[in-house]
Amino acid sequence: MFESVGWGEILVLIVAGLFILGPERLPEAAAWVGRSMRKVRDFASGARNQLKDEMGPEFEDFRKPLEDLRELRNFDPKRVVTKHLFDDDPDPLGLNNINGTAPANGHSTAAATSQPSSPEPLKPGEKPPVDPDAT
């Protein structure tokens, strides 16, 4: 519930409470806050237990989709698209094998095997092939 509140914020709240309430009323206010939090926690636990008792085994079937919804907080669209389009291929475009560099894991990729081999150099005195349509 208070996951984003750090020790610094708690210290600021205590100091502010000390100035606002004064040292004589601060312990009483802290005890009241503690009792109120305990009551809220007990009400939530009681409601959960009552719901669990009334629904029986169906409660777990109901809870599972809620847990799945909580996981959407960590949803990363880029990771999901990459996973479904490229099947978690670390090099989906074959960019690790550019200019003769091999992939880091030592396995050849499909893109690397589909590239044509470089042509042989010209022998001395041999004319290069000419494409009249290109010139």
pLDDT for residue 112 is more than 50: no
* Cα 72 to Cα 76: distance, rounded to the nearest angstrom: 9
Residue 6 Rama label (left phi>0; alpha psi -120 to 50; beta): beta
Q: What letter does residue 95 receive in the DSSP assignment? A: G
Q: What are 80-109's pLDDT values in tens digits?
A: 777 777 776 667 666 676 665 555 555 554
Looking at per-residue pLDDT, the higher value among 92 and 12 belongs to 12
- Biggest alpha carbon–alpha carbon distance for the chain: 104
Residue ranges per structural domain of the chain = 7-55
DSSP designation for 72: G
Query: Of 2-6, 8-12, 108-112, which has the strongest mean pLDDT?
Result: 8-12
* Residue-level pLDDT at 66: 78
Examine the pLDDT at 51 and tell me if it is beyond 50.
yes
Report the distance separating Cα 63 and Cα 18, nearest Å: 42
101/57: higher pLDDT: 57
